[in-house]
Chain A
Amino acid sequence: MSSKIFGSGIRRREDPRLVTGGAAYTDDITLPGMVYAAMLRSPHAHARIDDVDVSAAAAAEGVLAVYPGADTEDALQPVPTAWLLPDSDLQVAPYPAIAKDTVRYVGDIVAVVVAESRYQAYDALDLIAVDYDPLPAVTHPQQATEPDAPQLHEGISGNQALHWTVAGGDIDAAFADAEVVVKERIVQQRLIPNAMETRAAVAQYRQASGELTFWNTTQNPHIARFICSAVTGIPEDRLRVIAPEVGGGFGSKIAVYPADFVTIFCSMRLGRPVKWTETRSENYQATTHGRDHVQEVELAATKDGKITGLRCTVWAGLGAYLSTAAPGIPTILHGLMLSGVYDIPAVKEDVFGAYTNATPVEAYRGAGRPEATFMLERLVDKLANELEMDPAEVRRRNLIPRFEDGHDVITGLTYDSGDYPAALDKLLDHAGYDDLRRQQAEARNEGRYLGIGLSTYVEICGLGPSQVAGAIGFQGGLWESAIIRFHPSGKVHVFIGASPHGQGEETTFAQIVASEVGVSPEDVRVFHGDTDNTPMGWGTYGSRTTAVGGAALALTARKIKEKAKIVAAHLLEAAVEDIDYEDGNFFVKGSPDRGKTIQDIALMANVSWDMPEGVESGLEASTFYDPPNFTFPFGAHLAVVEVHPQTGQVKLERYIAVDDCGPQINPVIVAGQVHGGVVQGIGQALWEEAVYDDSGQLVTGTMLDYAMPRADRLPEIEVLSTVTPSPHHPIGVKGIGEAGTIASTVTVYNAVLDALQPLGVDSVAMPLTPERVWRAIQESGGD
């Protein structure tokens, strides 16, 4: 492997088109004869539909058709969930693409209009008369499970979608013998993912051939193809899904949505290409949300700070219906990570997944792991307070020591490799931790409230072994595939099944190929996102694209190299064992100046004038890589804040991230992922919250109300790393897409609570708005 290209912070090749407006998104697709769909969405969180009168809308200028639920009921199968979690009493409620009898959240589709122009389609929405009979609604996940709560789905008792448990060790003994117990009730508020591009779809159905081309803003076109085929009945071989440029997803573009199927239905009925593009308000109502946990957590420990047990009950709001991956997020991706970076002998968690009259919940950057990390890291700080120990010291006493090849934890997972103490030491050293504590003490004497927050984390990435996928009910594989094709001139095309949408793999994957076979990364083009010309893949989420897809690619490149060696040996009239390789040059040992370059070999393999006997023409290889284990990136983060005691305003002064994702293919891209992830996590701590009122209306329905992070509220993020390769991965990489989000929410939360500690405040609901902080100070009675 050439060290020059692997590990080099070359510029992202995606960026010129993205920053100059040259990228083509789904909404940029325009086809001859194309018409436009607009969805009529329920204004009620819960109501019976008594009547839908579409006659006026259907007669409006430019309108081709109006379809209520009665029209799609038989034509479209119910929207499926793809994670049938076993041993959880999973109750999958029927999820019609268009609601016919009952609406269950504000945003449920009630009818679709197709018109010659977007304006005509939206004008016609106002002409549809729907007679609703409103019903009581519930949006809070814990309240939804209470006996008197409004019931969402017939035959599903207590709105309980699932009850899942994870346990290890003797938890009862741990608490019975505990010298110290700390408890907390934590609300992981509902978040809106806010991808820059809203959701969109263009369906082009050819009635003569029965073929569908479907442009869709998705993170996983092959999964979308499979599910669209199941719902619409179009055979998979006649269904082509193209994910053009996709403007961010953060998990919200994993799901295949009702509006996708409805758009396809309209094109099938009308024989015209149909485009649907979500408005931002619609995105807030109908594109999946994240988090929404109520957590009751307690932690048992000894007086010298050794954690002996962690027990929790979680109520996870899943929304009105189960989205594509929803059941696995608050369970598998959450509960299995309960013990984090610590050696904890006993854990137990009960997760109750609840149907609520709210937008369906899906993976959202971190997906289950930020919620797990938060619980543990918050309670570790509470333990430190209780014992009057430094929070860094409590962490140190519990960290799993360095391991290079496997460590079993109490939840049943085997972490691949880790050096948690090294990450924490590097963080504290860089931060000047002891100095910070001194500054904090001085500030307190001056009546200023500085806070220092820490978290250490480990996450589960590189999803994952397909055998495990099957065992945990994921209705698909979790391998990845890659094809490398050398052209006669030595230029390379790479085709991958994964579907990056902003993460920069067109660049990093070119770096992998370049490093393995010695071409310039400029000579490698990476193709993705089209089910007709890329191999099968399971999508980009869970920080898996580089961890799994990158492995498939590296192994493919090594096959290319092996074949190239055979060809080189033939051309150099030597035995294959005598061929050496260095930076794209194949040569007889000791004679590097008389070698054959990879380009020479690519030309010969393509023209095939003089190939070794029994060796096929061409220089092309493919791999299906099914990982033997997950990968487990980790790190340690620190934040410094100042809280204004009179107003409750929080000012973030410093943020330091030490992350270990294994060897870094491109450190600039890694830093970018850390920046984005950290900021998204800080958003949850300080600003973001999707709020429903008692009737189930989304009160934070626009960007005027829902506060996104902004650059001017953030300090320079100090990005550091340690490097601990994954032992089972061909190039050792672990994944970095979600790390920042997993660590930063609780880091900043801990910092704010640390600032408030002398004021007697030990809990404030997120987000930590000025008023909430101010109220907590008022209610604590101050110092």
Chain B
Amino acid sequence: MFAPRFGYHRVSSVAEAGALLREHPGAKLLAGGHSLIPVLKLRLAEPPALIDIGRLAELKGISVEGEAVRIGALTTHAELAASADLEEHAPALAEAAGMIGDPAVRNRGTIGGNVAHADPASDLPTVLLALDASFEIVGADGERTVAAADFFQGMMATALGDDDLLTAVVLPARPPGQGQAYAKFAHPASRYAVIGVAATLEVNDGVCSAAAVAAGGLVPVPTRAPSVEQALVGEPAAGDAIATAASQIGTDLGDDLIGDLFASAEYRKAVAGVYVQQALATAAERIG
């Protein structure tokens, strides 16, 4: 567990980081280090340089701007979990952040590093997909914004280019009357999601008017569950209707399920509905 030799640069601005990325092809950005450092120690990657953005204050913190919640890329999981703003405006994100790893991981790991790594078993991408988040990126050609559905492109693959730096994640604030929840089947060793389900529900006159469901851990890229969502709308947000809708998840997952030593693809597919149902039922309970 000894990393290979690498160059190290601590930067004081986003612009400086961008310049160094262009100057050192193959260089990696270092934030909380909770994905990158293990990869280095296992010698699975040998980047020529690490560009430490960990002290860029401009990338830290959570702010509510009108109908949007803006989360700096360096905000830690612990900060997400403890944020009163998120508790109010994006509770599923706070809930999921509180389930990541253990306290030491949550105190160091950042939302930006997490989504840039795009592990399919990670918790936050699933929630961000359900909440229709967007990602602010600074690249060689300036700034751009990418929607979550376009950001996560494959297993450990995102819309980020080699010279790009993710600066913030932006979410629409939870509308009044919406319930949110994240349900997780954690791997007993890694604590990554074997199955993670994020759900939002809105109800008018006892009938579901809108629903968003995303699932992670099951397929190479977290995915929305349109069949489940459609089955919910127009139905009562309770009991049997939720169970029936949740059972649609198999259709949405398709055939490219992840399987490993701990949980096979067949098993994950068979039990995914239980967690969809749990997330939906909890979201329904939380509708104020």
Contacts and interface: CB of A to CB of B under 8 A. Distances in A.
Given A123-B4, A646-B271, A770 B263 contact: yes
A703 B189 contact: yes
- Is the contact region of chain B dominated by helix, strand, or loop, or is it mixed? loop
B1 A774 contact: no
Nearest to A686: B188
B8 interface: no
B1 A769 contact: no
Contacts, number: 58
A281 B188 contact: no
Given A705-B190, A706-B189, A123 B5 contact: yes
Contact of B267 (A691, A706, A771): A771
B264 interface: yes
Contacts of B263: 769-771
Given A119-B5, A281-B1, A646 B274 contact: yes
Interface residues of A, number: 31
B104 interface: no
Contacts of B42: 281
Given A700-B261, A703-B189, A707-B188, A119 B271 contact: no
Interface string A93-135: 0000000000000000000000000110011001000000000
A707 B188 CA distance: 5
B270 interface: yes
A780 interface: no
Contacts of B271: 646-648, 770, 774
Given A122-B2, A774-B267, A713 B261 contact: no
Interface in A614-652: 644, 646-649
Nearest to A647: B271
Nearest to A778: B270
Interface in B1-52: 1-5, 42-43
A687 interface: yes
Contact of B2 (A119, A706, A710): A119
Interface string A645-673: 01111000000000000000000000000
B2 A118 contact: yes
A707 B4 contact: no
Contacts of A57: none
Contact of B261 (A122, A279, A644, A705): A705
A775 interface: yes
A686 B264 CA distance: 17
Contacts of B188: 686-687, 707, 710, 713, 769
Contacts of B189: 687, 703-708
B262 A771 contact: yes
Contacts of A118: 2
Most interface-central of A281, A691, A771 (chain B CB within 10 A): A771
Contacts of A708: 189
B275 to A, nearest CB: 8
Interface string A707-734: 1101001000000000000000000000
A704 B185 CA distance: 15
A338 to B, nearest CB: 32
Interface in B230-278: 261-264, 267, 270-271, 274
A704 B190 CA distance: 4
Interface string B41-70: 011000000000000000000000000000
A699 interface: yes
B243 to A, nearest CB: 11
Nearest to A281: B1
A364 to B, nearest CB: 19
Interface in B175-189: 185, 187-189
A119 B38 CA distance: 16
Contacts of A713: 188
Nearest to A705: B189
A279 B5 contact: no
A700 B188 CA distance: 13
Contacts of B185: 647, 649, 770
A279 B42 CA distance: 11
A699 B261 contact: yes
A647 B261 contact: no
A280 B1 contact: yes
Nearest to B260: A705
B5 A769 contact: no
A21 to B, nearest CB: 15
Contact of B274 (A279, A647, A699): A647
Contacts of B264: 771
B22 to A, nearest CB: 28
B187 to A, nearest CB: 8
A769 B261 CA distance: 11
Contacts of A123: 4-5
A649 B183 CA distance: 14
Nearest to A700: B261
Nearest to A706: B189
Contacts of A774: 267, 270-271
A693 to B, nearest CB: 9
A280 B38 CA distance: 12
A279 B1 CA distance: 6
Interface in B153-200: 185, 187-190
Nearest to A118: B2
Interface string A273-292: 00000011100000000000
Contacts of A691: 261
Most interface-central of B3, B187, B189, B263 (chain A CB within 10 A): B189
Contacts of A647: 185, 271, 274
Contacts of A769: 188, 262-263
A280 B262 CA distance: 21
Most interface-central of B1, B187, B274 (chain A CB within 10 A): B1
A126 B264 CA distance: 34
Interface in B184-233: 185, 187-190
A703 B262 CA distance: 13
Contacts of B267: 770-771, 774-775
Nearest to B102: A710
A119 B3 CA distance: 8
A779 to B, nearest CB: 13
B87 to A, nearest CB: 22
Contacts of B1: 279-281
B112 to A, nearest CB: 22
Contacts of A686: 188
A701 B187 CA distance: 15
Contacts of A704: 189-190
A700 B187 CA distance: 13
A691 B264 CA distance: 15
A119 B188 CA distance: 32
A425 to B, nearest CB: 35
A708 B262 CA distance: 14
Most interface-central of B43, B185, B270 (chain A CB within 10 A): B270
Contacts of B261: 691, 699-700, 705
Contacts of A707: 187-189, 262
A706 B189 CA distance: 6
Nearest to B270: A774
B251 to A, nearest CB: 18
A647 B197 CA distance: 15
Interface in A116-160: 118-119, 122-123, 126
The 3 A-B pairs at the shortest CB distance, nearest first, are namely A707-B188, A707-B189, A122-B2
Interface of A: 118-119, 122-123, 126, 279-281, 644, 646-649, 686-687, 691, 699-700, 703-708, 710, 713, 769-771, 774-775
22 contacts: A126-B43, A279-B1, A280-B1, A644-B274, A647-B185, A647-B274, A648-B271, A686-B188, A687-B188, A687-B189, A691-B261, A703-B190, A704-B190, A707-B187, A707-B188, A708-B189, A770-B185, A770-B267, A770-B271, A771-B264, A774-B271, A775-B267
Given A647-B271, A775-B267, 8 more contacts: A119-B5, A123-B5, A126-B43, A648-B271, A687-B188, A705-B262, A707-B262, A771-B267
